[in-house]
Copies of this chain bind each other. A is one copy, B any other.
Amino acid sequence: MARGGPIRTSVGGSTADTITVAGHDLVDDLLGKISATELLYLEIQGTLPRPEQTQLLNAMIVSLAEHGMMPSVIAARMTMLGAPESFQGALASGLLGVGDTFVGPSANVGRMLQEEAQEFEGSAAEKAERLVAKYYDQKKRIPGIGHPHHTIDPRAEKLLAMQRELGVADEYVTLMLNIHKAAIARRGSHLTFNATAAVGAIASDLGIEWRAIRGLGLVARSIGLVGHIYEEMRKPIGRAIWNLVEDHTEYENPV
């Protein structure tokens, strides 16, 4: 046994003859039988998802994967320009920007619903009111609420509609909708229920712990980044991006 204790994992193991993933034989039980999305759920949760859970997971991944020329896409393309020899380097470079600004908020919604709101007693409406009051007292921004352009976020609406149609448990979405309502009441004007809120709440309803929501976002973004990196190999625009930025940069001496 190692000094730091035993080295045990339940995610995956291999012998000379078999690979096991969370209790399932890779070749006999999984290969040809499950999708990439079901495997992701199995990796995180240790059990296979039900069909409606898979549908929601797919919808969340699709909603997060591709948003056009995002900062992480620019990073990946700059890295490909400098190191065209390494696909994985460009992908890693892009994924490193999938942090607190763009994917973190969904996980923060999850934490707020799974932990912070649970510290209060009462119905969903009561928990929501107390939570919103606490955020206002502490002058903290409520994650998942507000949007720069829109009064309605069509991705959020679609995800919520899917969940309703599929009839899955919606405890956390209900709580989040109550938080949304309480926040509007506090502020006295409209606030948008955005895609971040939908992803954080629906993932919570699927039983995904808030810390794992980041993993979901990262797999989604890896799909979008692979598309951009492969396009950069065939029709490079990295040098044009670099030149554009360089031409608009002014150097000035430190004061």
Mark A residues whose CB is within 8 Å of B: 2-14, 16-17, 19-23, 26-27, 30-32, 34-37, 39-40, 42-44, 46-47, 55, 57-59, 61-63, 65-72, 74-76, 78-93, 95-102, 104, 149-150, 154-155, 158-159, 162, 211-212, 214-216, 218-220, 222-224, 226-231, 233, 235, 237-255
Name which of A42, A91, A255 has the most chain B CB atoms within 10 A of its CB: A91
How far is it, in angstroms, between the C-alpha of A37 and the C-alpha of B13 when the chains are bound? 24
| Complex A-B: 16 CB contacts under 8 Å | A3-B240, A6-B250, A14-B67, A14-B69, A17-B150, A27-B154, A31-B59, A31-B159, A36-B61, A69-B246, A72-B79, A83-B88, A87-B218, A88-B99, A92-B96, A212-B230
Chain B residues whose C-beta falls within 8 Å of the C-beta of A19 in the assembled complex: 66-68
> Cβ of B13 and Cβ of A68 under 8 Å apart?
yes
Selected contact of A85 from candidates B63, B86, B154, B244, CB within 8 Å: B86
Report whether A82 and B72 are in contact in the complex, using a CB–CB cutoff of 8 Å: yes
Q: Known: A34-B58, A62-B31, A239-B4. Is A249-B69 also a contact (CB below 8 A)? A: yes
Judge whether A39 and B68 touch: CB under 8 Å.
no
Point out the residues of chain B lying under 8 angstroms from A212, CB to CB: 226, 230
Main secondary structure of the interface of A (DSSP, over half): helix
The oligomer's copy count stands at 4
Distance between Cα atoms of A249 and B20 in the complex (Å): 13
Interface hub of A70, A95, A235, A252 (most chain B Cβ within 10 A): A95
B240 touches A7 (CB 8 A): yes
